[in-house]
A and B are shown apart, each in its own frame.
Chain A
Amino acid sequence: MVLELARARPVWQIMFSTHHTDVGLLYLIFSLLAMFVGGAMAIALRLELFAPGAQVIGDAMDFNRLFTAHGTTMIFLFLLPSASAVGNYLVPIMVRYKDMAYPKLNAIAFWLIPPGAALVWLGMADFGWYANPPYSVISAPAPAAEMWIFGLKLLGVSSILGSINFIVTILKCKHPDMSIGKVPLLAWSFLSSSIIVLAAMPTFAAALLMLLTDRLGASGFFNPAVGGDPIAYSHLFWFTFHPEVYVLVIPAIGMMYEIIPRFSRRPIFSHSSGVAAFVILSIVAFASWAHHMFATGMSFTEKTVFMVGTLAAVPASAMHVFNFLATMWNGRIKFATPMMWAVGGIALFFAAGAGGVVNTAMPLDFITHDSYWVVGHFHLFVFGTIAFGTIGFVYYLFPYVTGRMYNEKLGVVHFILAFVGACITFFTQHILGLFGMPRRIYDYPDIPEWVAMNALISIGAMIILVGMVIFLGNLIYSTAKGKPANMEDPFGLGGKYYYPYEQRNPHH
């Protein structure tokens, strides 16, 4: 167990440590901070959109900068680092090795993130997290745009370095008695997502550089005024970011593979099915990127190819859902907080996937493209599945990291508020999208259905806010003064809490 510590350590020693548990702690603290910052931005957006007319945000430029920062923060500063946090804590333990393969590189990968965040948050560019040209080349103001580009460069490098570390640790540093097939599914999820990052991220790194040189007037890749093609950027961007959404979801599914069998007190229904599903998903993830571009004027053949590629990824995700449900079937389930979050996450994952199938059916995409349907759809994934899985895992990991138990009642309340709030917010957004409301708009006309649904969505967001405030309070109070946890079995499940391998922090 990590907490074999005898006494407090100086803060600087933790900050500059290269041990995987310390780096994991840094990632965890940063990602939770970013979650609350990004969440505050979302609340500002929803307060503004509560009714037509200006409410709390004075003008469209501020609104545009806020939604750009919200998206960038949540994806790059919350979801990716929180996955790295979990991976750093557990992957070395799962493969029975003493640390990550490259501890110093690990620390560097973390420390690239705060400067990247500073650049993004100080600049607050306004072009949405996609940064589509030509707007991002000729129209988006400076220096905010350049700061965003440099910030994302740093974050991309961090992601790549972290991925290299995970791949080498899992493939090369695993215990000689452990065959690759026996590696736990959470570690498999990090292996899959890291391989996707290595294959996909360099494309975006190139696109960012090209965007920068275009802005400086030194090149004309995406600027039609000098002979470029803006759709080229869309291809490069989505070639990275469609697989990237799988990079986001796969670790969360891996986290559910830890929680669900333990709290159902049954082994996973089929370990090999889980491995196969991860491998298939990682490959097919690359076949569907241009489903984000159906409305750019692609030919019928191109659209068909990407529709098929998108549909091909669905069975692999469906296999995970089956695995979870089959694991829970006939289990002696203990519905503690982590389990609630995992199960809620599976339900919303299923809903998100179903909505996605609608989007990929080509003619239907022309109803939903760039409307609030898409906003609802992807939030069901990033919040309903990934954040649910992550938050559930934070509760699960809490005794492991802090040695204390969080307040279970507050954890349950948090879950109920988040689940109810998510359903109200994101399902209503689907319907709002069907009624035609575009996304990324600061204000909207007085159409009665839009007004009513926007008000309902904002109320749902406030419900989520209350839950998150409770979460923050629970985290802080329980870390300082929570009841010391029974480190052998904090959740009272009646088995070994964690992996039977002892792990010691070398500083003690």
Chain B
Amino acid sequence: MSEHDETIYRTSPGRLGKLMAILVGLIVVGSIIFFALGDYWISELSPAGMKFAGITDEVTAPAVAQTGEDIPVTLDFIESSDFRTLAFNALPGEPGNNPTINAKVGDRIIFNIVNAGKSFHAFGVTLDDEGFGGILGGTAVALPNSPLKPGEGGASEFVPGEPGTYYYICTVPGHRAMGMVGTIIVE
């Protein structure tokens, strides 16, 4: 039955090279598409997730034009070494911990936020006196699902239209309860 050997075609290096080129080429093209779009693939939350987190398209406090002065505020996310206590600027008991911001209606508070800790954080201003929802439009820096990594920062603004007590918090779930909250008193 050895005449079978003559009739058998065994592939050549060239053809195999073509196959490898196709396969590797597909992987390369796929990788380019994947990396070029970067965080796009994980940039949103599902509709059910947005409903759960209380994120809606409406702004929960009316946006107003700025009629007062600019108040720049720098807030650093910091952590205690055992990660049990979190705060802005200084740990509890030290001066500068979670500074209270005083403002008048119409002032523009400019937040300069930096993650000076080792964990992930995100920022926002809310009227709610507990929890991590109800973030007012325009005040957010990063989101819990794509937070600021250590060293990263960002800026946002808040122009209060009504007097009252507002809170600036870290919007990562749980961080407010662990100490990352401060008050903004608006007259």
Contact = CB atoms under 8 A, between A and B. Distances in A.
Interface in B105-133: 120
A343 interface: no
Given A8-B15, A404-B10, A487-B5, A118 B30 contact: yes
B52 A225 contact: yes
B34 A124 contact: yes
Contacts of B16: 476, 479-480
Given A8-B9, A8-B11, A480-B11, A217 B19 contact: no
Interface in B19-59: 19-20, 22-23, 27, 30, 33-34, 40-49, 51-53
Interface stretch (A104-112, A138-146, A242-250): A138-146
A422 B12 CA distance: 34
A145 B23 contact: no
A256 B152 CA distance: 55
- Which of B8, B34, B149 has most A Cβ within 10 Å? B8
B23 A215 contact: no
A142 B44 contact: yes
Contacts of A147: 41
Given A122-B30, A476-B16, A403 B8 contact: yes
Contacts of B51: 217, 225
8 contacts: A3-B9, A4-B4, A8-B12, A61-B42, A123-B41, A124-B41, A143-B40, A402-B11
Contacts of A140: 46, 49
Contact of B33 (A3, A65, A122, A217): A122
Nearest to A480: B13
Contacts of B52: 138, 223, 225
A405 to B, nearest CB: 11
Contacts of A138: 45-46, 48-49, 52-53
A99 interface: no
Contacts of A5: 7-9
B44 A143 contact: yes
Given A143-B41, A488-B1, A216 B9 contact: no
B67 interface: no
A364 interface: no
A37 interface: yes
A1 B12 contact: no
B18 interface: yes
A58 B149 CA distance: 10
A403 B10 contact: yes
- Which of A11, A61, A488 has most B Cβ within 10 Å? A61
B96 to A, nearest CB: 29
B145 interface: yes
A472 B103 CA distance: 67
A147 B10 CA distance: 40
Contacts of B13: 480-481
Contacts of A11: 18-19, 22
Interface residues of A, number: 49
Contact of A487 (B8, B30, B33): B8
Interface residues of B, number: 39
Nearest to A37: B27
B48 A484 contact: no
A29 to B, nearest CB: 7
A217 B46 CA distance: 8
Nearest to B145: A141
B-side interface mostly: helix
Interface string A57-90: 0110100010000000000000000000000000
A481 to B, nearest CB: 6
Interface in A117-148: 118, 121-124, 126, 137-147
A6 interface: yes
A217 B34 CA distance: 27
Given A142-B45, A144-B41, A214-B48, A3 B8 contact: yes
A4 B3 CA distance: 11
- Which of A6, A138, A145, A476 has most B Cβ within 10 Å? A138
A276 interface: no
A144 B41 CA distance: 5
- Which of A137, A141, A147 has most B Cβ within 10 Å? A141
A65 B41 CA distance: 11
B81 to A, nearest CB: 14
A283 interface: no
A223 B41 CA distance: 23
A59 B120 CA distance: 10
A476 B45 CA distance: 43
Contacts of A487: 4-5, 8
Contacts of A481: 13
Contacts of B45: 138-139, 141-142
Nearest to B43: A141
Nearest to A222: B48
Nearest to A59: B149
Given A33-B23, A126-B42, A141-B145, A484 B47 contact: no
A122 B41 contact: yes
Contacts of B48: 137-138, 214-217, 223, 226
Contacts of A144: 41-42
Nearest to A141: B42
Contact of B23 (A29, A137, A225): A29
Q: Which 8 A-B pairs have the closest CB atoms?
A: A141-B42, A480-B13, A215-B46, A403-B10, A217-B47, A5-B9, A138-B49, A142-B44
